[in-house]
Amino acid sequence: MKQLMTARQLKLAVLASGRGSNFDAICRAIERKDLNAQILVLISDQPQAPALAKATARGIEALPINPRDYSGRDAYEERLVRELEARQVDLVVLAGYMRLVGKVFLKAYEHRVLNIHPALLPSFPGLNAQQQALDYGVKFSGCTVHLVDEGMDTGPIIMQRVVPVLDDDDQETLSQRILKEEHELYWQALQLIAEGRVWIEGRRVVVKAD
Ligand code: GRF
């Protein structure tokens, strides 16, 4: 078994394409001192993402990097990696980052990129996970924090939280119920890593006692 990271105050970069509510929830956990981490930079592939303004409002560096300014995914990810390395980031936190991570990024940050997905993986990967759950008719869904690999929401699972699906749910009500749990789960998973308690072997992630 390999320890994901020795205990430390985590130096994080957050990548977000949109609204940034998970980013905000992580910031609040840091402020409350529930999470031993600092966020060095918020990077967005969408120059108009509300997450950028949220970072600026909190005094966190907000860095737009538009993939359209690059010749292809490799060139775009080389820039990302340069920015992350320049800040000596320990972990990259994807929070509503709407792109697949490619090999350039993963080679530089293997087992150091996390994502949160609004379903109980491996069910309902990809877009519109909450609607997929409703359409399928499951009675429970939830959210998953996982390590990122080259697939779509396929990396090793760190933590999951279950949420009931109610008979009168629509996409909006189910998404809200799941999002509330996302906002707790993400910082809790990060804190376990900060405590040096997360170990990995193959696909299996084990959280060890203190
Ligand atoms: C969340 O539902 C997250 O699970 C998914 O994208 C959404 C991002 O929301 N990956 P926000 O930008 O953090 O508010």
pLDDT attached to residue 72: 97
pLDDT tens for each residue of 102-111: 999 999 999 9
pLDDT attached to residue 210: 76
pLDDT attached to residue 183: 98
Sequence spans of domains, the chain: 9-110, 116-210
Q: Using CA atoms, how far apart are residues 178 and 65, in angstroms rounded to an integer?
A: 29
Percent of the chain with pLDDT over 90: 100
Average pLDDT, the chain: 97
pLDDT attached to residue 178: 98
Among 179, 184, 186, residue to substitute to test ligand 1 (most atoms within 8 Å of Cβ): 179
Phi, psi for 55 (deg, rounded to 5): -65, -50
Instruction: Say if residues 35 and 54 touch (Cβ distance below 8 Å).
Output: no
Which residue is associated with the tokens 């080259």?
Answer: 150
Query: Helices (H) and strands (E) in the chain — how many of each?
Result: 6, 10
Ligand 1 site, residue 116, Cβ cutoff 6 A: yes
CA angle, 111 then 97 then 148, to 5°: 20
User: Distance, CA 175 to ligand 1 centroid (Å)?
Assistant: 10
Q: Supply the residue whose CA is at minimum distance from atom 10 of ligand 1.
A: 96
**Catalytic residue flag (residue 146):** no
Q: Using CA atoms, how far apart are residues 119 and 204, in angstroms rounded to an integer?
A: 19
The pLDDT of 3-29, averaged and rounded, is: 98
Q: Supply the residue whose CA is at minimum distance from atom 14 of ligand 1.
A: 21
| Start-end of H helices in the chain | 21-31, 50-57, 73-86, 103-108, 129-136, 171-194
User: Distance, CA 139 to ligand 1 centroid (Å)?
Assistant: 21
Ligand 1 site, residue 128, Cβ cutoff 6 A: no
Q: Confidence band (pLDDT; 50, 70, 90) for 173?
A: very high
Q: Which two tokens stand for residue 55?
A: 């970072």
Q: Using CA atoms, how far apart are residues 153 and 157, in angstroms rounded to an integer?
A: 10
Q: 88: which DSSP letter?
A: T
Q: What is the pTM of this model?
A: 0.97
* 119, burial (CB in 10 Å: exposed 0-12, middle 13-18, buried 19+): buried
pLDDT tens for each residue of 40-94: 999 999 999 999 999 999 999 999 999 999 999 999 999 999 999 999 999 999 9
Q: Which two tokens stand for residue 118?
A: 């609004």
Interhelix angle for 21-31 vs 50-57, to 10°? 20
The fold of the 116-210 domain, in CATH, is Rossmann fold (3.40.50)
Interhelix angle for 171-194 vs 129-136, to 10°? 120
CATH number, domain 9-110: 3.40.50.170
pLDDT attached to residue 15: 98
Q: Confidence band (pLDDT; 50, 70, 90) for 116?
A: very high
* Inter-CA distances, 8 with 39, 85, 168, 179, 193, Å: 14, 18, 44, 28, 8
Q: Write down the catalytic residue from 111, 117, 146, 183.
A: 117
Q: Does the pLDDT at position 192 exceed 80?
A: yes
- In 38-61, which positions are buried (b, 16+ CB within 10 angstroms) versus exposed (e)? ebbbbbbbbeebebbebbeebebe
9-110 matches 116-210 in fold: yes
